[in-house]
Structure 1
């Protein structure tokens, strides 16, 4: 008879509760612990972290980077033989390596949540690294999770997550700055619709065009940004994004190559 797999989830916020509920629905034995005592838990909650971890085959820490290291230190002496500890919190590679050092070899798993959890729950794409990564994937793959093995080096999954954050948060920042600039000129409605049209028509080819087009026409684009600066000076809006964009163009003009760009 196949042994039930017990999963303890430390942290029952939005992401933790959704993942916990999804894992339970997939057939895992799931318990949770959160000192804040959530109003609508998706799995049974224990009164103490010790009770949650007791007998667990896998412990998932899904709370915040501020307390992640403390949770790891609390859980480490409580784990039974063969159990895994997976940290799903956003954190730097250095933090992940420090947490890994708390555990014996083969126990720590650095897990990066690569998309928003709402709407995907336990099916959210996960990057998996650390000395316990292969065992983690072997344990959870039968339950339909979207798992990508990264390496045995803790922190390498976290690095991918943070690099992706530059793109995702950077795009959000540029969109907001564009709308603020447009608002200063009474063009916010048009700009909003233009942004939506741009995203509707975008694809992988769009990203390639941005890279190669900038490499080919960087001087012209730098001059165009100077016109943008002059226009916004007249409208009274101080952009938070144009300065860094101009700085990047300057680096390219001084010889820094754009990865994956192609010149004619």
Structure 2
């Protein structure tokens, strides 16, 4: 089985390594990608295609893992050439998913959503899937993945993910601000410990991961929040989601993304302070 990835960020890098270890051939195309992305792909040992068309034609299952703003454009680029199953695993709204999948002419499509941390769980991170070919990709579970079908309609999986994401990103933004203030006062460890007493047992580890991820992926989080605000606006005035969106946009403009992912939240706050 040949697995392809459109885009080669953290998700594609992690999944590629795991799938290769489980005996599958993995492909990508690096046209127009940054030197850092090229280095990651080469180091991971994936096979390279010269064009996105070649990648689409060769892949039995083709994952789209790009920034939200590129999801539709990428689908349009390969739409006439996808011979296998096209899986949109981007963090985008149900309407955007449907638009993207409508570009795939063979109709073999899946709306997929990652539920949880790829960094912590790797290939075993939970993925929910819906759409006409959702059941067909469950055989990837035999190669180390953790995919559950949640329906036949495109948009079902992304709706569940988006509503969950509205909550988790809002919590991350509030945690980031609260703990940063504590950091400036020199009582961050005490505040973190105090909050953990009212939360789950792994809260401190989770809090550290949330803050690091928020800073390292601030620009992407801002784009994802724009999708969430648009979706929630269909039924309400999403005041909290709008505030979270504004937070991530501000963060992406005020903190310089480091070349290497920070190890812990104090490194993030040092970057924010210009230390």
**TM-score (normalizing by structure 1):** 0.67
Give the C-alpha shift of residue 129 in structure 1. 0.8
- The equivalences for 1:126-137 within 5 A come to 126-137=127-138
Q: Which residue of 1 aligns with 2:195?
A: 195
- The equivalences for 1:24-173 within 5 A come to 24-35=20-31, 36=33, 38-41=38-41, 42=44, 43-80=46-83, 83-104=84-105, 106-137=107-138, 139-173=139-173
Q: Aligned partners of 1:31 and 1:186: how far apart in 2?
A: 48
Tell me the secondary structure at the aligned position of residue 5 of structure 2: strand
Tell me the secondary structure at the aligned position of residue 119 of structure 1: helix
Q: Is the 8 A contact 2:82 2:104 kept in 1?
A: no
Tell me the secondary structure at the aligned position of residue 77 of structure 1: coil
Q: Where does structure 2 lack aligned partners over 5 or more consecutive residues? A: 204-238, 244-275
Give the C-alpha shift of residue 156 in structure 1. 1.2
Q: Where does structure 1 lack aligned partners over 5 or more consecutive residues? A: 204-239, 245-264
- Distance change >3 Å, CA 190–CA 33, structure 1 → 2: same
Give the C-alpha shift of residue 21 in structure 1. 1.5
Q: Aligned partners of 1:30 and 1:50: how far apart in 2?
A: 15
> Where is the helix percentage greater, Structure 1 or Structure 2?
2
Tell me the secondary structure at the aligned position of residue 96 of structure 1: helix
Q: Aligned partners of 2:55 and 2:20: how far apart in 1?
A: 15
Give the C-alpha shift of residue 119 in structure 1. 3.4
- Distance change >3 Å, CA 186–CA 33, structure 1 → 2: closer
Give the C-alpha shift of residue 8 in structure 1. 1.2
- Distance change >3 Å, CA 51–CA 101, structure 1 → 2: closer
Q: Which residue of 1 aligns with 2:265?
A: none
Q: Aligned partners of 1:135 and 1:160: how far apart in 2?
A: 20
**TM-score (normalizing by structure 2):** 0.65
Give the C-alpha shift of residue 31 in structure 1. 0.8
Out of 12, 16, 20, the position equivalent to 2:16 is 20
Q: Highest Rg: 1 or 2?
A: 1
Tell me if 1:6 matches 2:2.
yes
- Distance change >3 Å, CA 152–CA 39, structure 1 → 2: same
CA-atom RMSD, angstroms?
Answer: 2.6
Q: Which residue of 2 aligns with 1:217?
A: none
CA deviations 1:165-188 (Å, max 9, x no partner) are: 122112222323433565788755
Q: Aligned partners of 1:175 and 1:25: how far apart in 2?
A: 36
Aligned residues: 199
Q: Aligned partners of 1:113 and 1:184: how far apart in 2?
A: 34
Q: Which residue of 2 aligns with 1:232?
A: none
Q: Which residue of 1 aligns with 2:269?
A: none
